[in-house]
Structure 1
Amino acid sequence: MKLGLALPTFGPDATPEGILQICRTAEDAGYDSLWTGDRVLAPHVPGAPYPSGDGEMPRIYENHMDPLVSLTFAASHTTRVRLGTSTLNGLWQPPIMLARSLTTLDVLSEGRLVVGLGLGWMPDEYTAVSVPWKGRGARLEETLDVLEKYWTSDVFSHRGALFSIPETVVGLKAHQRPAPPVLLAAFSPGGLRRIGRRLDGWLPVAMPLPHLMGMWDVIRKAAVEAERDPDTLRMALRVNPQLTGSRTDPDRMPAAGTLGQYIDYARAAAEAGVHELFVDFGQTHATLTERVDLAGRFIEGVRRG
């Protein structure tokens, strides 16, 4: 199982120095990937509850960097690790612009981009970018259509219910041919089936492993029904540790526990068949120095097992 780290693109460590420190930590410690998230708003009272924990949005989101710009910066200071978005809210800009940005990053990173898309959870952000909250599934489908045409065609045009693109030559080609992998964060039955039907993999968040693998089975079944090979799909599991000073009841994992318990969870995930797991120690109250220490202890513990 591959292991990754979240870049500090939220909160007080969202600085050039913070990103550089985590970049160096990832490459030196042997991590396989670095990941960023996406926010455009941080209201005091969001229009919808945060979809985990107690429903309160983490206040670190009040300071947020652009995910693709941050990954471009990280690409210029790394040589090996892959660079992923977990997640990029892919409906907040026209798909032709999204295609250009993603392709440029894949070229500049020499093929290290992993595109992780999500639909977000906060209606306020859709209001802020003038995109309707309703109809997100249909908008995602058409966005994926445009991305696919952009990446696989020398010349293409598009006319759909939401977007119209006149015929254009596409000279910019992704380093990864024909395209960087596209993963989706989805949890509804329809979203899981969409992954199996047309995407490269899944971006879940940590949950009890029997539930996780049950949802994975839904995705694999949908792939078979779409006459795709389910073994080509990949899962990259996000873990947001809530670290405690003493061991918690096993029933609370992975919601909260010690670093050792999260190491055990990662080992069990590997045995269950998870392809990649990445941790965001920025969800804790750790300083940047403490995050570096935790990252070193985490990968050492998982690899030792």
Structure 2
Amino acid sequence: MKLGLALPTFGPDAHPEGILTVCRTAEETGYDSLWTGDRVLAPLVPGAPYPSGDGQMPRAYENHMDPLVALTFAASHTTRVHLGTSTLNGLWQPPLMLARSLTTLDLLSRGRLTVGLGLGWMPDEYTAVSVPWKGRGARLDETLQVLREYWANDVFSHEGPLFTIPETVVGLKPCRRPGPPLLLAAFTPRGLRRIGRRLDGWLPVALPLPRLLGMWDVVLKEAAEADRDPSALRMALRVNPELTDVRTDAARMPWAGTLGQYVDYARAAAEAGVHELFVDFGQTPATLSERVDLAGRFIEGVRRG
């Protein structure tokens, strides 16, 4: 199983030295990937509760970087690790502009990009970027279609319910053909079906493994029913640890526990067939130096197992 780290693109460590420090940590300690998230708004009173914990949006989100710009910066200071978005809200800009940005980043990183898409949870952000909250699934489907067409063709045009793109030459091509892998963060039956039938993989957040694997089985079944190869799909699992000083009851994992418990969870995930697991120590109140220490102890514990 591959292991990754979240870049500090939220909170007090979201600055050049913070990103450089985590980049160096990842490359020197053997991590396989670096990941960024996406926010455009931190409303004083969000229009919807945060979808985990006590429903309160993490204060770290009040300070947020552009995920693709941050990954481009990370790409220029790394040579080995892969770069992913967890998650990029793919509906906040026209799909043609998104295709250009993703292609550019994949090219500049020499093919190290994985695109993890999501629909977000907060209607306020859609209001702020003048994109309707209603109809997100249909907008995502058409966005995926544009991305695939852009990457696959030297000349293409698109006429859809939401977007019209006149016929154009596409000279810019990503390193990996036909394009970087497209993963989706989704948990509803419709979302899991979309992953199995249209995406390259799943981008879930940590859950008890039996529940997680049950949902993964749904994805694989949908892929098989669509005459796709289920073995070609991959799962990249995000872990947002809430670290405690003493071991928690098993029922609280993976939502809260000691570093050792999260190491055990990662080992169990590897044994269960999870392809990649990445951890965001920025969800803890740790300082940057403590974050680096936690990353070193975590990978050492998982690899030793």
Which digits, 9 at most, give the CA deviation of each residue in 1:43-83, with x for residues without a partner? Answer: 12110000000100001000000000000000000000000
Return the letter of the residue paired with 2:263. I
Matches within 5 A, 1:1-305: 1-305=1-305
Q: Which runs of 5+ in 2 are unaligned?
A: none
TM-score normalised by structure 2 residue count = 1.00
SS at match of 2:148: helix
RMSD over aligned Cα, in angstroms? Answer: 0.3
- C-alpha deviation, 1:155, in angstroms: 0.3
SS at match of 1:121: coil
Return the letter of the residue paired with 1:95. P
SS at match of 1:104: helix
SS at match of 2:264: helix
Q: Which runs of 5+ in 1 are unaligned?
A: none
- C-alpha deviation, 1:38, in angstroms: 0.1
SS at match of 1:12: helix
The CA distance in 2 between the partners of 1:282 and 1:46, in whole Å, is 21
The CA distance in 2 between the partners of 1:214 and 1:273, in whole Å, is 13
TM-score normalised by structure 1 residue count = 1.00
Return the letter of the residue paired with 2:7. L
Return the letter of the residue paired with 1:136. R
The CA distance in 1 between the partners of 2:184 and 2:44, in whole Å, is 28
The CA distance in 2 between the partners of 1:52 and 1:94, in whole Å, is 29
SS at match of 2:99: helix
- C-alpha deviation, 1:178, in angstroms: 1.1
SS at match of 1:165: strand
The CA distance in 2 between the partners of 1:105 and 1:255, in whole Å, is 33
Which digits, 9 at most, give the CA deviation of each residue in 1:62-109, with x for residues without a partner? Answer: 000000000000000000000000000000000000000000000000
Return the letter of the residue paired with 1:220. L
| Residues matched between the structures, number | 305
Return the letter of the residue paired with 1:41. L
- C-alpha deviation, 1:249, in angstroms: 0.3
